[in-house]
Amino acid sequence: MKLTKDYLQKYFKPQYYFNRDLSWLEFNRRVLEEALNPNLPLLEKVKFISIFFSNLDEFYMIRVSGLKEQIRAKVFETSIDGLTPIEQLHQIENTLRPMLQQIYLYWNNYIIPELKKNKIYICKLDELSKEEREGLNNYFIKEIYPILTPLAFDPGRPFPYISNLSLSLAILIKKPTGEKHFARVKVPSILPRLLRVDKLIKHDSRNNNGKIKFVWIGELIKSNLNMLFPGLEVLEAYLFRITRNTDLEIQEDEADDLLELIEENIRQRKFGSVVRLEVEKQMPDYMIDTLIENLEITRDDLHIIDGPLGLSDVMLLYDLALPHLKDKPFYPVTPPIFDEDENIFSLISNKDILIIHPYESFTPVVDFIKEASRDPDVLAIKQTLYRVGQNSPIVKYLIEAAERKKQVAVLVELKARFDEENNIYWARELEKAGVHVVYGLVGLKTHAKMTLVVRREAEGVKRYVHLSTGNYNIDTAKVYTDIGLFTTDEEICADVSEIFNYLTGYSEQKEYRKLSVAPINKRQTFLELIEREIKNVKTYGKGHLIFKLNSLVDPVLIASLYEASRQGVKIDLIVRGICCLIPQVPGLSENIRVISIVGRFLEHSRIYYFYNNGNEEIYLSSADLMQRNLDRRVEITFPIKDPEHKAFLKEHILDTCLKDNVKARILLPTGKYVFNHPVYNESLVDHQEYMMQLVNNNYKKSLASKINNK
């Protein structure tokens, strides 16, 4: 029996798959559940509310817009779960609307009162003192009024352009003649949505008794609209917000210059079709109808909101210096090995080094590039950059290396969604410094996370490699769980060199020594490893797979897991987000258990464990098991060879994830998730809390040992 696509075709039945987008909504429901968690500090709840809405914005900009494009193009094909685009949209809305109702009820009836109990007030203007109102009006006149542009809508002036995710006021005004007209005022996005009163007016804060007061900027603008329409009567004004399609197709094969093409796509993204309209509950029907008609949408695209629009902006509250309303702060520790009085290349030469982020600091990764840029024996640095962040020290050191006349080649992925502008900026900065910049391969995103340093040493030229499951981004490294490996393994280094040649030059290479590479051989490699587990369970009576990843979508790999389950292989899946596999179905997946963990850190690492009849193998990867990762991206999967590292990953990450009974949810065959509550007398296990304590304890032991040795 070979796990070929033809053999696995028997599993391609709609009843065997969850819908991808509905599964994503269940992930966002788990984010919502964190906001509802009674044991979470107040501002942590606010943070998860913000994340819920930020996730939802992106979902509409990409996934919902894609379904609407299919409907416009009269695509009636069903997805693998058997739903047409129209059916998917209906189910999305039917699933989402009760969630929105729940979260706004929670915001209005719980969060706002709890904020007040803690002296944080989101006030209506009439709740402020006369002095505060006057101070805010002065602020409006000086700081807000000059920015605003009222836009009229009448036979001589077309309906104004509304930008994506912008907040606007729909206004009805009346002229002295009695004529009524529609106007729009955009709430400026360069100013904070929530204005902190005591910071904006000259006011003795001691009079507030420690109260922190905010007002919504939209309410302040609304109360001063008469200044924008002098001589006219403002009859009504209501807030609304739109979401546009931002997932515009990039025809790379028709482009002479990918950089120019991406820049043009960023400009065009602003004019994508409208896919969602959010309005205040109080907005009258005639005004809603005006918006719907001119935005060229239908009532199906309308969300009537009983509360503030765009609650992703409440993350601003999380920045308040109120530690008693947040989780106890956690500070990553530097792995003890980097405290040695040796340079980083000597340390990596001695043994492979594994770093577990965000529990362990990202600083050694930055230092690796820094040392490489300044070491006179380093000849070349090659690196892939996918999401690098705003103020990247890594880019700074790459530029420094080029200025020191080292060979520096960097693949900057311009197609990293929503990071395109940032990546274009860094690509140009790198090019100015003389770095060889490559923008990626036609038709493929480069999602692999690799750094190669070539160094001249006494024995000859030596290569050093850093591979990772996550991005070279100092900000996300503080909140994403990822794993990085430093190694001088000759076969891995040779593979990485050849992958860089594939990315920067021409290569038809199909096989690698130790790495599997998408889209070349990753899918086939995984099918063979799963097939080996099936053979082992038949021969030796035991097979076990543990996959930890963000998303499980690919039908072929899901089918192979179904086959493995039917053959008796035990399968544990730790899937943070989308899971299209249906677990615990008799005769199909009764040996498959799926859990999801949503906690203070974003679970982002991909770990693939194969029992292999006791000769355990563990692979780390930049790739999830999705069609895009396997077929349309350059991805790497690399083995962990050091026995201590393998034991650590199995015991402290995979096993504690599976034991988690605080933050873990279990996926049911219905598609719903339930908390993995502890049974009677069972100890509580919170995987992320466990990891924080573990690295802190290990660091303290190492420190104590060094002190004693001295």
Least confident of 102-116, 327-341, 599-613: 327-341
pLDDT of 201: 80
258 pLDDT tier (thresholds 50, 70, 90): low
Tokens of 93: 């809305």
Per-residue pLDDT at 703: 60
Residues 6+ apart with CB under 8 A from 207: none
Contact 83, 19 (CB under 8 A): yes
Mean pLDDT, residues 152-163 taken together: 80
Tell me, letter by letter, the H, E, C secondary structure of 430-445: HHHCCCEEECCCCCCE
Reduce the secondary structure of 124-163 to three states and give it as a string. CHHHCCHHHHHHHHHHHHHHHHHHCCEEEEECCECCCCCC
Phi/psi at 577 (nearest 5 deg)? -110, -110
Tokens 């790379």 correspond to 252
pLDDT at 387: 84
- Give mean pLDDT, residues 315-322: 95
* Region at 511 (left for phi over 0; alpha for psi -120 to 50; beta for the rest): beta
User: Quick one: tokens of 523?
Assistant: 């899918």
CA dihedral 621→622→624→626, nearest 10 degrees, is -120
- Give the whole-angstrom CA distance, residue 49 versus residue 104: 10
**pLDDT: is 74 or 601 the higher one?**
601
pLDDT at 700 over 50: yes
Res. 699: pLDDT tops 90: no
Q: Extract the tokens encoding 222.
A: 């609304």
pLDDT for 254: 43
- Rounded to whole angstroms, the Cα distance separating 573 from 581 reads 10
The mean of the pLDDT values for the chain is 91
Q: Which long-range contacts (CB under 8 A, 24 or more apart) does 209-212 make?
A: 209/119, 210/119, 211/119, 211/120, 211/121, 212/119, 212/120, 212/121, 212/320
Residue 23 has pLDDT above 80, yes or no: yes
pLDDT tens column, 641-674: 999 999 999 999 999 999 999 999 999 999 999 9
Query: Is a pLDDT exceeding 70 seen at residue 6?
Result: yes
**Among 239-253, 554-568, 589-603, where is mean pLDDT lowest?**
239-253
Q: Which residues pair with 274 in a beta bridge?
A: 244
Question: Which residues neighbour 330 within 8 Å (Cβ) at sequence distance 6 or greater?
Answer: 358, 600, 692
Please state which of the ranges 207-211, 318-322, 676-680 shows the lowest mean pLDDT: 207-211
Q: How far apart are CA 338 and CA 340, in angstroms?
A: 5
Q: How far is CA 239 from the centre of its chain?
A: 28
Among the residue ranges 189-193, 373-377, 442-446, 623-627, the one predicted with the least confidence is: 442-446
Confidence of residue 200 (pLDDT cuts 50, 70, 90): confident
CA 160, distance to chain mean position in Å, is 32
- For the cut 90, the answer to whether the pLDDT of residue 597 exceeds it is yes
Distances, alpha carbon 327 to alpha carbons 111, 116, 540, in Å: 17, 19, 47
Higher pLDDT, 621 or 418: 621
Please state, in angstroms and rounded to a whole number, the distance separating the CA atoms of residues 682 and 680. Answer: 6
The predicted model scores a pTM of 0.94
Is the pLDDT confidence value at 680 over 80? yes
What confidence score (pLDDT) does residue 546 get?
A: 98
Q: What local confidence, expressed as pLDDT, does residue 252 receive?
A: 46
- The residues that are catalytic are 447
How many Cβ atoms from other residues are within 10 Å of residue 324's Cβ?
8
Residues forming beta bridges with residue 481, ordered by sequence position: 603
Tokens representing residue 279 in the block: 């309005």
Q: How crowded is the C-beta side of 524, counted as CA atoms within 13 Å?
A: 10
Which residue blocks in 209-343 are alpha helix, DSSP H? 217-223, 258-269, 285-295, 315-318
Residue in 145, 268, 132, 269 with CA at minimum distance from that of residue 198: 132
Which pLDDT score is estimated for 253? Answer: 46
DSSP string, 558-588: HHHHHHHHHTT-EEEEEESS-B-B--S-TTT
The pLDDT, as a whole number, for residue 255 is 44
Share of the chain above pLDDT 70, in %: 93
Treating both helix axes as pointing N-terminal to C-terminal, what angle do 65-72 and 85-106 enclose, rounded to 10 degrees? 150
Amino acid occupying residue 510: K
For 691, counting Cβ atoms within 10 Å of its Cβ (0-12 exposed, 13-18 middle, 19+ buried), the class is buried
- What CA–CA distance (Å, rounded) separates 141 from 95? 44
Q: In whole angstroms, what is the distance from residue 645 CA to residue 630 CA?
A: 26
Look at strands 378-385 and 407-412 and give their pairing. parallel
Share of the chain above pLDDT 90, in %: 77
Look up residue 85 and give its two tokens: 């685009």
59 pLDDT exceeds 70? Answer: yes
Query: Does the pLDDT at position 400 exceed 70?
Result: yes
All domains of the chain in start order, with CATH:
336-514 (3.30.870.10), 517-709 (3.30.870.10)
Lowest mean pLDDT among 151-155, 269-273, 305-309: 269-273
Residue-wise pLDDT for 486-542, tens only, equals 999 999 999 999 999 988 887 778 889 999 999 999 999 999 999 999 999 999 999
Element (H, E) at 334: none
Q: Is the pLDDT confidence value at 217 over 70?
A: yes
Return the pLDDT at 268.
Answer: 57
CB 503 within 8 A of CB 447: no
pLDDT reading at 205 higher than 60: no
Listed residue (692, 695, 662) closest to 40, CA to CA? 662
CA distance 121 to 450: 47
The mean pLDDT of 543-562, rounded to a whole number, is 98
**Residue 78: pLDDT above 70?**
yes
